[in-house]
């Protein structure tokens, strides 16, 4: 059974999904853009018999609060701080991280701050190497270099319902396997008043994630956490080279490529769950 809960994290209401016995090893699932913990709806039932699973919605996403930009600065540092405080309020002492997309820079900041709490890392298209950035990042990188109103406005294309659906179905061999409620729900959340500016702020701040890549890589090299990469090889944003690069710093990292796109769980949840079970055992 999945439970749908809320917790106050320093004045911000955080929605999260919880399943499995608290006596089992904990797996913390961190979602990406433009989605929420809803992306894990297929994975959680496949793992809850063996693991204690926690999947929060980050501030500005899903069913969690989206404080105004005047009250909360939307940076990945701040998202990670909220996520870290969330784990502490829940009393999570040790946990494996499942990092996807935005969940990677959030989760890896937690790992840098408290490496002793991280039992393993599962990266599903969660990038930490420049080799993994595709040309799809070019408009966003232009905004990093020259944060003008014009360059900011150009990124609104990523927030349209058409673009959100494209992110789900691009690289998928059978588009009919992708549930329409997934990208429809994401678009509904993006359409909330003020959320477009929140997302544009995070696009700009993503540059600071790339600046942290060397620190993330040093963590992999020095701590060598057990690492599994399960990667949709047709991802238009994060290339397979991003998965292979984990082995540069942690030669024991396991890498599996799946014939799908960015949202690999939509089409390959069973296969990913099988890899996770074998890996965490």
Which is it for the CA torsion 231, 235, 241, 242, positive or negative?
A: negative
Has 275 been annotated as catalytic?
no
Query: What are the tokens at 274?
Result: 């099988």
* Active-site choice (38, 52, 170, 262): 262
Q: In what order do the strands lie in the sheet with 2-9?
A: 2-9, 12-19, 52-56, 26-30, 95-99, 118-123, 227-232, 254-258
CA atoms within 13 A on the CB side of 161: 10
Q: Are 227 and 121 in contact (CB under 8 A)?
A: yes
Burial label, 93 (beta-carbon count in 10 A; 0-12, 13-18, 19+): exposed
Catalytic positions, please?
262
């Amino acid at each position: 059974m999945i439970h749908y809960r809320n917790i106050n994290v320093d004045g911000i209401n955080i929605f999260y999904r919880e399943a499995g016995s608290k006596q089992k090893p904990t797996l913390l699932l961190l979602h990406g853009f433009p989605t929420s913990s809803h992306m894990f709806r297929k994975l959680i039932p496949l793992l809850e018999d063996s693991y204690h699973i926690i999947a929060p919605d980050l501030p500005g996403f899903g069913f969690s609060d989206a404080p105004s930009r005047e009250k909360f600065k939307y940076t990945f540092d701040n998202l990670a701080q909220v996520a870290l405080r969330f784990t502490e309020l829940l009393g999570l002492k040790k946990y494996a991280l499942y990092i996807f997309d935005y969940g990677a820079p959030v989760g890896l900041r937690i790992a840098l701050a408290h490496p002793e709490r991280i039992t393993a890392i599962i990266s599903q298209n969660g990038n930490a190497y420049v080799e993994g950035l595709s040309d799809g990042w070019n408009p966003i990188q232009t905004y990093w270099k020259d944060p003008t109103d014009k360059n900011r406005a150009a990124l609104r294309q990523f927030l349209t319902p058409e673009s959100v659906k494209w992110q789900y179905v691009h690289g998928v061999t059978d588009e009919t396997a992708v549930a329409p409620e997934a990208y429809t729900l994401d678009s509904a959340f993006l359409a909330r008043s003020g959320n477009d500016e929140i997302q544009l702020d995070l696009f700009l701040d993503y540059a600071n994630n790339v600046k942290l890549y060397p620190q993330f890589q040093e963590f992999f090299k020095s701590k060598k956490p057990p690492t599994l990469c399960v990667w949709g090889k047709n991802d238009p944003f994060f290339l397979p080279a991003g998965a292979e690069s984990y082995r540069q710093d942690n030669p024991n990292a396991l890498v599996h490529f799946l014939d799908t796109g960015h949202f690999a769980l939509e089409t390959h949840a069973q296969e990913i769950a099988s890899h996770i079970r074998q890996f965490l055992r």
